[in-house]
Chain A
Amino acid sequence: MSIQIRNVSKNFGTFQALKDINLDIPDGKLVALLGPSGSGKTTLLRVIAGLESADEGAILFDGADLTNVHVKNREVGFVFQHYALFKHMTVSENIAFGLKVRKRRDRPSASAIKEKVTELLNLVKLEGFANRYPSQLSGGQRQRVALARALAVKPRILLLDEPFGALDAKVRKELRRWLRKLHDEVHITSVFVTHDQEEALDVADQIVVMNEGKIEQQGSPDEVYDHPASPFVYDFLGNVNLFRGRLNHGKLNVGSAQLEAPEHLNVSDTEAVGYVRPHHLSIDRLQQADDAIPAIVKFSHSVGPLVYIEMKLQDSEEYVEAEISKEKFTELNLKIGEVVFVRPKEVRIFVPEDFVI
């Protein structure tokens, strides 16, 4: 089931949560809505589910307009951030709920419901937990019950609101991999909301980056990470270094260094900022080319196999961070206070007309 979102806007009082959103979610894909808090991602998810109504615009499933269809008739599975399991029901009663509340003629027989519950418990790897109450389960187990409960009604689409947000780092990683595997088995169009870029990059087929009620960029994880469409996406998806300078006919002058900016050949003498990922910065002792920028080593710390080196640019007060391998670090044998040259292997230059830092 594909989802089409057309010109959707939503206000809460004077706060504009969604501003004219247009989005197509293809059939059978796992899509992440990624953004900081207040970006409108959860509101958009709730509008798709029908838990929130759009002030303007339309929601379509496979081209059929569902804007005015009540949530209970939309056949969506919704998984809540804090699970929202029914506390007074056992795991199996929770899972069976959606089937038991059906009208008599649509309701499966008691034995069919029981069979379905067993099947789902197997799917979410919680065999033997059928008679537990939610309070007797761990966070990860609860979330799997919530997922099984949502899947029990055979929803046309699955919507997950920060599904792993309340879990600790290790469980979160396990569970999201498991969700990915589950999605590959079940193939249901799924949308999940997250503020964790790593989670989105790890799991999703497609990422929709949102900010201040608008879609900043959408694409595959690689597209979004490697070719950010805006300074916001650059900043939000991973760390980034900023090199401020003056842009003149395809060259960005940062202090004494010159960075190539072939996409800005027609620009003459304006302020601009070059965006460089920490792992795209190389460190050398000697100035090998025009684009090597002198910097002073201030601090270094290692995280696992990687070393982060913090440096201050010699010609300005700005700090940059490079990410290099431990081997390279040992080879360089850097000392605090030493002057080195950093070279961006890849740089993306944005002219500040279209943004403000």
Chain B
Amino acid sequence: MEPSLSKPMERQPVRKRKSSKESKGVKIALISIAILYLSLLLFVPLIAIFIKAFEKGVDVYLAAITESDALSAIKLTLLVAVIVVPLNTIFGIAAAWLVTKFHFKGKQLLLSIIELPFAVSPVIAGLVFVLLFSPRGVLGLWMVEYGIKIIFSVPGIIIATIFVTLPFVARELIPVMQEQGTSEEEAAVSLGANGWQMFIRVTLPNIKWGLMYGMILCNARAIGEFGAVSVVSGHIRGLTNTLPLHVEILYNEYQFSASFAVASLMSIMAIITLVIKSIIEWKTEKQEV
């Protein structure tokens, strides 16, 4: 053992930039603007949600989130997330794999198609599914015949959410996998690993942080999606109401405290997601150094 080698080599952080040219005044001004902007548009509304939620006391708050329609909305939202996130994760990995490890014609087109849900308004996306699957839609007659119900029921909500959250995982993975290249996979195969072993033992550990990051974003959007789900769900209380729709209904019925109580629940979910996301970012950064 050479003692001189016992310390890992440290790479110089690239971002270090001590000699910044801006004066202190400019720096303070910029920071102040950023903080003011964030406070007005993010922190104040967030705090307002909680204040409003607890306006009529803890009892009303608890009642609002334990009431049966609220509970079924929570259940449905979680069900949607539990189905959508794994499906889009599998799709995302497959798409990223295809795009980064193979050369083929129409790759750019595929990349654009993967990003399409980001470009299309969620409401339009929802309408497309209504046009396709509603009894008067393109596939409507056929589906009525076989008794399949998609629009105004849970399958429709799941399909709409899948559409809207489709790009998240793939988008996170493609740059990561592009950077990795294929040589580690090739090394694994040349050592006798089969495709599955290569994926589990070599590819997955290399992309795990990017993958988790994509899954978290996908999950956040799946829970919070309003537009597309609103169009296909039909707002049937206790049956096809997700949390965001439930918030809207309560609000429209002037049950402000209850509405904000449910909204605060979603805010808590969002904050937890953010914390997990930050931890992952911090870990990836540490790994890269």
Contact, CB under 8 Å: B206 / A84: no
Chain B residues contacting A97 (CB-CB under 8 Å) are: 188, 191, 193, 201
**Residues from 150 to 204 in B contacting A, C-beta threshold 8 Å:** 183-184, 186-194, 197, 201-202
**Which of A23-31, A73-81, A108-116 lies at the binding interface?**
A73-81
11 additional A-B pairs beyond A51-B189, A136-B9, A153-B191, beta carbons within 8 Å, are A72-B191, A72-B192, A85-B187, A86-B205, A87-B206, A88-B205, A101-B194, A146-B187, A150-B191, A152-B191, A153-B192
CB B191 to nearest CB in A, in angstroms, measures: 4
CB-defined contacts of A78 to chain B, threshold 8 Å = 186-187, 190
Complex interface residues of chain A between 99 and 153 (CB less than 8 A to chain B):
101-102, 128, 133, 135-136, 138, 146, 149-150, 152-153
Q: Which of A97, A133, A146: most chain B Cβ within 10 A?
A: A97
A84 B197 Cβ-Cβ under 8 A: no
Question: Could you show 25 A-B contacts with beta carbons less than 8 Å apart?
Answer: A71-B189, A71-B190, A72-B194, A73-B192, A75-B192, A82-B183, A85-B184, A86-B184, A86-B188, A86-B201, A86-B202, A87-B206, A88-B206, A97-B188, A98-B191, A98-B192, A101-B188, A101-B193, A101-B197, A133-B8, A149-B187, A150-B190, A150-B191, A152-B191, A153-B192
Interface size of A as a range: 20 to 34
The answer to whether B191 touches A149, judged by C-beta atoms less than 8 angstroms apart, is yes
Q: Decide if A49 is an interface residue (CB 8 Å cutoff).
A: yes
Given A97-B191, A153-B192, are A84 and B9 also a contact pair (CB < 8 Å)?
no
| Residues on the A chain within 8 Å of B188, using CB | 86, 97, 101
User: Contact: A76 with B190, CB < 8 Å?
Assistant: yes
| Residue of chain A at shortest CB distance from B1 | A128
A73, B183: Cα distance in complex, Å: 18
Residues of B within 8 A of A86 (CB): 184, 187-188, 201-202, 205
Q: Count residues of chain B with CB under 8 A from any CB of chain A.
A: 19
A7 to chain B, nearest CB (A): 24
CB neighbours (8 Å) of A150 from chain B are: 190-191
Chain B residue at minimum C-beta to C-beta distance from A161: B183
**A72-B8 contact given A84-B186, A101-B201, A128-B1, CB 8 Å threshold:** no
Chain B residues, Cβ within 8 Å of A138: 9
| Nearest opposing residue in chain A for B288, CB measure | A135
What's the nearest-Cβ distance from chain A to residue B262, in Å? 42
What is the bound-complex CA distance between A102 and B191, given in angstroms?
9
Closest A-B pairs by Cβ, 8 of them: A98-B191, A84-B183, A78-B190, A84-B187, A101-B193, A136-B8, A88-B205, A128-B1
In the complex, chain B residues whose CB is within 8 Å of the CB of A75: 192
A182 to nearest B CB, angstroms? Answer: 19
Please state if A80 and B9 are interface contacts (CB–CB under 8 Å): no
- Chain A residues with CB under 8 Å of chain B are 49-51, 71-78, 80, 82, 84-88, 97-98, 101-102, 128, 133, 135-136, 138, 146, 149-150, 152-153
- How distant is A21 from chain B, measured CB to nearest CB, in Å? 21
Q: Which residues of B contact A153 (CB under 8 A)?
A: 191-192
Report the Cα distance A148→B186, complex, angstroms.
16
Q: Is the CB of A49 within 8 A of B184?
A: no
Please, which residues of chain A bring their CB within 8 A of the CB of B186?
51, 71, 78, 80, 84
For residue B205, which residues in chain A have a CB less than 8 angstroms away from its CB?
86, 88
User: Which residues of chain A come closer than 8 Å to B194, judged between CB atoms?
Assistant: 72, 101
Tell whether, in the assembled complex, residue A101 and residue B187 are in contact, meaning their CB atoms are under 8 Å apart.
Answer: no
Complex interface: chain B residues within 8 A of A146 (CB): 187
A207 CA / B70 CA spacing, docked (Å): 77
Interface residues of B in 1-41 (CB under 8 A from A): 1, 8-9
- Alpha-carbon distance between A58 and B190 when the two chains are bound, in angstroms: 19
CB distance from B202 to the nearest CB of A (A): 6
Once the chains are docked, how many angstroms separate the CA of A146 from the CA of B188?
11
**Complex CA distance for A199 and B102, rounded to whole angstroms:** 33
Q: Which residue of chain B has the shortest Cβ distance to A51 in the bound complex?
A: B186
Q: Which of B116-144 contact A (CB under 8 A)?
A: none
- A192 → chain B closest CB, angstroms: 15
Residues of A within 8 A of B189 (CB): 51, 71-72
Closest to B9 in A: A136
Among B187, B193, B201, which residue has the most Cβ atoms of chain A within 10 A? Answer: B187
CA distance A32 to B12 in the complex (A): 37
Check A101–B8 contact: CB distance below 8 A: no
Docked Cα-Cα span, A149 to B197, in Å, equals 17
A76, A80, A101, A152 interface centre (most CB from chain B within 10 Å): A101
CA distance A21 to B205 in the complex (A): 39
Contact of B190 among A72, A88, A133 (CB under 8 A): A72
| Distance between Cα atoms of A97 and B205 in the complex (Å) | 14
Task: Tell me, in angstroms, the Cα distance from A49 to B187 when the chains sit together.
Answer: 11
> Could you say which residues of chain A place their CB within 8 Å of the CB of B193?
72, 97-98, 101
Contacts of B197 in A (CB 8 A): 101
Contact residues in A for B206 (Cβ distance below 8 Å): 87-88
Complex Cα spacing A71 to B194, Å: 10
Docked CA distance A18–B201 (Å):
34
Asked whether B201 lies within 8 Å of A49 as measured between CB atoms, the reply is no
Contacts of B183 in A (CB 8 A): 80, 82, 84
Are A84 and B184 in contact, with the CB atoms below 8 A?
yes
Chain B residues with Cβ under 8 A from A76's Cβ? Answer: 190
* Cα–Cα, bound, A138→B194 (Å): 30
Q: CA separation between A85 and B185, bound complex, in Å?
A: 10
Tell me which residues across on chain B come within 8 A of A135, comparing CB atoms.
8-9
